[in-house]
Amino acid sequence: MGSTAHHGGDGVGRRDLIKRSAALGLVAVPGMGLLSACASSGGDGQEKAKAGKKTAKNPLGVNDTAGMEFVLFDGGFGKEYAEDAVKIYEKDFPKAKVKFAATQKIQSTLQPRFNQGDPPDLIDNSGAEQMDMGVLVGKKQLADLTPLLDAPSYDDPQKKVRDTLRPGIVEMGQFDGDPVWILYYAYTVYGVWYSQKALDSLDATYPENWDDMLALCAKAKKKGIAGWTYAGKYPYYLPFSLYPMIGKVGGREVLDAIDNLEPNAWKHPAVKACFEAYYELYQKGYILRGTPGLDHIQSQTAWAKGKALFIPNGSWVENESANVIPSDFDLAVSAPTGLDSSDKLPFGTIWASGGEPFIVPAKAKNSEGGMEQLRVMLSEASSKNFTSKVKSLTAYNGGTDGISLTPGLKSGVAALDKAGSNVVNPRLQDWYVQLQKEKIGVSGLGEMMAGRLTPAEAIKKIQGFADEAAKDTSIKHYKHQ
């Protein structure tokens, strides 16, 4: 699946990683017939559906006889959760005909339809063939989702949809302040993943400061176990634990400055300290031998087999590695280890953010229908259905009561509870995909962790890449508001 790793045009980097499960045969590749058939309808029937009457049951004023078309990315989360939500829409609007399709080829199938002014009403714009969000927003091709966010929630008319969402979801859908163009449906917890059983066997608890981390790695090494492994071929997995560590050590403003491409942002003492801490893992031989040559699946497999204690990853790892994680592994995730007691933020500071970007095109024939389908998906029942089927949280803040959570998911929920308001969300990988993946990830962190650059050299190189991106007038620049 290397091609997704090197794909520069996708607006949101981590989603294509989630989708790699498709390569593991977790997902059937859909027939393309349905989509290509509707792509050719070019000029005819592009009139918008007339809006329906707004009622308590139909707050968005969906035309109850209008057709609704929904195209889903067919990846690691499969399509069942969406098909189930479509059934609810059809039950609510029995006279409406819904056309649903799932594909991995989002861009090649849908870009021509955007260009012809005939896009579907709701799209899960994800995967290696994701359409560039910045371009879609810049060309005014997306509908503002504020009406959905301000509508009463599906379960409780006293609460707006926006009041039922997890931290950061609304902000992630914005580019420069208001409006909101994207609704991220999945919610990913990033951090350091490990086997609780493995720690117990070493009579250890998860280390909260770096001295304890090094001591635990030394103890593991005596037993022939490496402290860490990671996706050496795709080292942009390293930031999943390294960035929140930088935020913990130096405060959120350090991460914001990095996102804003500010001059010398990477030269902050917190960045230097964290790079040096990670480099120490390499210097002391605590990284699994051969890691720089491993891809995400190989490193996850070695870790699942007990060859290394820790791996930086996102919460999709539980589903993606389900076939190699032993039943008694007792999968857990932790917020990153800090440096020491002088860190700005407490232990528990973690990176969590939205995944699976859903959009409603500006020229959709039935944009109210597309938004209503999302409102259905953001109900407690649909959210629970997604979580129990694919082992991931949704943007809906809740939806875990009464369903039996898998070990990793349970641990992720506990980590979010522990973090409280100390959830960070670095935006580099959404805003500047190429910079984050190829340059910072592969040419910077990857080279440092393979021992080919010192921390000082890596910082200098990465700052140079960030400065280049800041000066590049061909890319749109974003800033934290």
What the chain holds in terms of domains, given with CATH numbers, is 2-188+353-409 (3.40.190.10), 190-352+426-471 (3.40.190.10)
pLDDT digits (tens, 9 = 90+) for 107-164: 999 999 999 999 999 999 987 788 888 788 888 999 999 999 999 999 999 999 999 9
Going 449 to 453 to 456 to 458, the CA torsion angle's sign is negative
Please give the single-letter amino acid code of residue 20.
R
Phi, psi of 137, rounded to the nearest 5 degrees: -65, -45
pTM of the model: 0.80
Q: Return the pLDDT at 139.
A: 87
Of all helices (H) and strands (E), which one includes residue 393?
Answer: strand 393-394
Confidence of residue 399 (pLDDT cuts 50, 70, 90): confident
Cis peptide before 207 (omega within 30 of 0): no
Average pLDDT, the chain: 89
Q: Return the pLDDT at 12.
A: 38
d(CA 319, CA 300): 12
Q: Which candidate, 45, 63, 41, 46, places its Cα nearest to that of 54?
A: 63
pLDDT digits (tens, 9 = 90+) for 437-453: 889 999 999 999 999 99
- 147-161, 242-256, 393-407 — which is least confidently predicted? 393-407
Q: Return the pLDDT at 18.
A: 39
pLDDT above 60 (res 101): yes
d(CA 316, CA 299): 15
Alpha helices in 284-395 (DSSP H): 296-304, 317-320, 367-377, 380-390
d(CA 30, CA 13): 23
pLDDT above 50 (res 17): no
Q: Return the pLDDT at 8.
A: 31
Averaged pLDDT for residues 455-469: 98
pLDDT above 80 (res 35): no
Averaged pLDDT for residues 232-251: 97
Structure tokens belonging to residue 118:
């005939």
Question: What number of other Cβ atoms are within 10 A of residue 187's Cβ?
Answer: 26
Q: Are 458 and 447 in contact (CB under 8 A)?
A: yes
Confidence of residue 361 (pLDDT cuts 50, 70, 90): very high
- 76-85, 239-248, 371-380 — which is least confidently predicted? 76-85
d(CA 339, CA 316): 27
pLDDT digits (tens, 9 = 90+) for 296-311: 999 999 999 999 999 9
Structure tokens belonging to residue 239:
């930031």
Q: Return the pLDDT at 33.
A: 39
Confidence of residue 1 (pLDDT cuts 50, 70, 90): very low
